[in-house]
Every structure is written in structure tokens, then in C-alpha cells.
């Protein structure tokens, strides 16, 4: 097993009916094969933006992780990203939620419902199986604002499950399986 990344990756996907209208993935990388740092990946139909102070780390996160998000890729296909060098403000409170901003983008994920320790041993990232373990925290609210305007769409929330397209992933660990498990 090869450890690839440790950190946090709160995300929000907005929908208009069944169609994804936007997603934001905010990274706090505590350690990775490509170093530590923060990045914000924003996707809307026809446009992918990566905002980070370290473009090499941001590009790696986008190419190795975000481009393989299956839940939104039908509506927001991965395209050649636009890169912006800018700091990422990442304020995470596990009791209240996340507020993050980078360049002209602000993301808010609030109202944690529950906390779960999860593990998926076969998370497919472009044909490469990965092991993903994380503390997954579905939330009641999620918003993405660009240049002061809130993007269209709303999160999907089923509080009875609970499941949400606005969530915090903390203590996130990604590994590749070098050898079959015995």
C-alpha cells in the first residue's frame, strides 16, 4: 500500500433537479506525495477552475482526484482547468461547518448532521483502485458564491439517511493498493 494524501476535503455539489450545476472541492492537504497546502477546485458546466498558492499541488489534486468524481461528471465534465495563483482561506469547525474562500470564490458548508468513520477499499480514480478512509460529515446547507453572486442550484439532502451533497471529509487518507489484499 502506498500512502498518497492525508488531510481534509469538504465538498458541495449544487443541483437543479437531476442536473449538477456546480461543485466546489476545498482541499487542506496536511501531507501528500506532492507536499502540503490548500486548494479550491470549482466546476461549472464548461469550466473548471483551480485556485491555489501552489499550482503544482493544485493541478495534481485536480487531475488525480477531482477529475474522477463520478457523481457529477455527467453534467460537469472535466476540461482543461484554468489556474489562479491565490491563497486559500480554510476555516473548519467540526461542530459548525466550513467557510473557505480563494480569489473571487466563497464556499460555505454548514449544519453538520452526523459523523461517520468510512472506508472504501476500491475507490476508482481513473482506473486505479484506491483505499479511502475519512470521517464523513453530511451537512444541511451548502453554498457557492462567485464574485458576490450565489451560484444557482441547491444541495441534495436526505436528513433521514442522512445523506447530503454538502459534506465535510476530515481525517481523509488516500492510499493505492500495491498488492492484492490477502
Q: How do residues 114-172 score in pLDDT, each as one tens digit?
A: 999 999 999 999 898 999 999 999 999 999 999 999 999 999 999 899 999 999 999 99
- The whole-number pLDDT of residue 179 equals 52
What grid cell was written down for 78?
472535466
Q: Give the span between the Cα atoms of 111 and 142, in whole angstroms.
A: 9
Q: Give the span between the Cα atoms of 13 and 98, in whole angstroms.
A: 14
- The whole-number pLDDT of residue 69 equals 82
3-state secondary structure of 66: helix
- The whole-number pLDDT of residue 181 equals 45
Instruction: Note the pLDDT tens digit of each residue in 51-101.
Output: 999 999 999 999 999 999 876 677 899 999 999 999 999 999 999 999 999
- The whole-number pLDDT of residue 182 equals 40
Span 29-46, average pLDDT: 97
- The whole-number pLDDT of residue 180 equals 52
Q: Give the span between the Cα atoms of 165 and 142, in whole angstroms.
A: 8
The pTM (predicted TM-score) of the whole model is 0.95
Geometric angle at alpha carbon 42, from 102 and 152, rounded to 5°: 105
Amino acid at each position: 500500500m502506498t500512502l498518497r494524501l492525508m488531510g481534509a476535503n469538504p465538498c458541495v455539489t449544487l443541483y437543479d433537479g437531476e442536473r449538477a450545476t456546480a461543485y466546489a472541492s476545498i482541499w487542506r492537504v496536511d501531507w501528500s506525495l506532492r507536499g502540503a497546502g490548500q486548494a479550491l477546485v470549482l466546476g461549472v458546466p464548461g469550466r473548471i477552475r483551480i485556485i491555489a498558492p501552489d499550482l503544482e499541488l493544485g493541478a495534481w489534486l485536480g487531475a488525480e482526484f477531482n477529475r474522477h468524481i463520478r457523481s457529477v461528471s455527467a453534467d460537469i465534465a472535466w476540461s482543461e482547468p484554468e489556474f489562479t495563483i491565490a491563497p486559500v482561506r480554510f476555516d473548519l469547525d467540526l461542530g459548525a461547518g466550513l467557510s473557505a474562500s480563494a480569489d473571487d470564490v466563497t464556499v460555505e458548508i454548514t449544519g453538520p448532521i452526523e459523523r461517520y468513520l468510512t472506508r472504501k477499499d476500491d475507490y476508482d480514480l481513473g482506473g486505479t483502485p484506491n483505499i479511502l478512509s475519512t470521517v464523513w460529515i453530511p451537512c444541511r446547507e451548502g453554498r457557492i458564491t462567485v464574485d458576490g453572486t450565489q451560484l444557482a442550484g441547491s444541495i441534495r439532502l436526505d436528513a433521514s439517511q442522512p445523506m447530503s451533497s454538502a459534506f465535510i471529509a476530515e481525517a481523509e487518507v488516500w492510499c493505492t493498493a500495491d498488492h492484492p489484499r490477502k
